[in-house]
Structure formats: structure tokens, C-alpha cells
């Protein structure tokens, strides 16, 4: 899936990957997709939870080169 912006949160621990994702989502338009790279094992739980609470669409997670790749579609504020 294509994305409009990317955040590299590898080697950061909770809550930093989610905080960086939130800032990244603020910089893109509603409907655009943010790709977040993370290595924190807790991010697998935190990212979908954050999206549900903040009104963004969590598109899923894959693994790529030892990192989690989270895709998030920005919701409408």
C-alpha cells in the first residue's frame, strides 16, 4: 500500500512511537496514510488502541527488515 508520509520510530520505547505517530498525523491531511516503523513490541498493541481512541483508521501491521510497519489513515478531526 502506498503512503503519504513516514515516521521512523525504530529503537524508541513506549510511549514514543505513538507520540511520534500522533505528530506525524497532524502534518498530513485527513484521508492520507502515515507509515510508522517501530521495533518496540508494545507498539503492536499501542498503535491500534491509539487509532481507535483518536479517530484514525488503523490499516494493519506487517514486518519488514526486523521492524513493524504500521499503516494509519488519518481521520477527520
| Strand ranges (E), 1-77 | 5-9, 33-38, 57-64, 67-73
Active site residue 14: yes
Is 36 within 8 Å of 24 (Cβ atoms)? yes
Q: Which of 14, 59, 61, 69 is catalytic?
A: 14
Residues forming the active site:
14
Amino acid at each position: 500500500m502506498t503512503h503519504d508520509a513516514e515516521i521512523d520510530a525504530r529503537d524508541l520505547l513506549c510511549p514514543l512511537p505513538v507520540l511520534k505517530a500522533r505528530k506525524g498525523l497532524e502534518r498530513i491531511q485527513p484521508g492520507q496514510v502515515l507509515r510508522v516503523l517501530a521495533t518496540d513490541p508494545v507498539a503492536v498493541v499501542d498503535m491500534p488502541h491509539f487509532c481507535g481512541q483518536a479517530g484514525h483508521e488503523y490499516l494493519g501491521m506487517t514486518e519488514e527488515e526486523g521492524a513493524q510497519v504500521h499503516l494509519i489513515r488519518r481521520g477527520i478531526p
